Amino acid sequence: SILDTVIDNEIETEGYGICGGGIACSTCHIILEDTVFDKTLVEDPWGEEECDMLDNAPNVTDFSRLGCCVH
Ligand code: FES
């Protein structure tokens, strides 16, 4: 997942992915370009948990996903 990439590459993102991919925090919120966003919907369709968590994320757009749910 994008979260794994951030962790594996030790990218400094304070507070990012604080629940470790448990779909319980929404801190891994990402906003994608429209074409990339469409591709993620094919490869990693929405789950109910992700939709619920995104409701709690700040500044959600039509192209928002959770980084722990996108590969
Ligand atoms: Fe917590 Fe993605 S890491 S919801």
Cα 39 to averaged position of ligand 1 atoms, centre (Å): 20
pLDDT at residue 3, rounded to an integer: 94
Distance in angstroms (rounded) separating the CA atoms of residues 53 and 49: 6
Distance in angstroms (rounded) separating the CA atoms of residues 35 and 13: 25
Question: Is any ligand 1 atom within 6 A of the Cβ of residue 40?
Answer: no
Question: Is any ligand 1 atom within 6 A of the Cβ of residue 6?
Answer: no
pLDDT at residue 6, rounded to an integer: 93
Cα 23 to averaged position of ligand 1 atoms, centre (Å): 4
pLDDT at residue 57, rounded to an integer: 93
Question: Is any ligand 1 atom within 6 A of the Cβ of residue 32?
Answer: no
Give the count of beta carbons closer than 10 Å to the beta carbon of residue 60: 14
Residues 27-71: pLDDT tens digits? 999 999 999 999 999 999 999 999 999 998 999 999 999 999 999
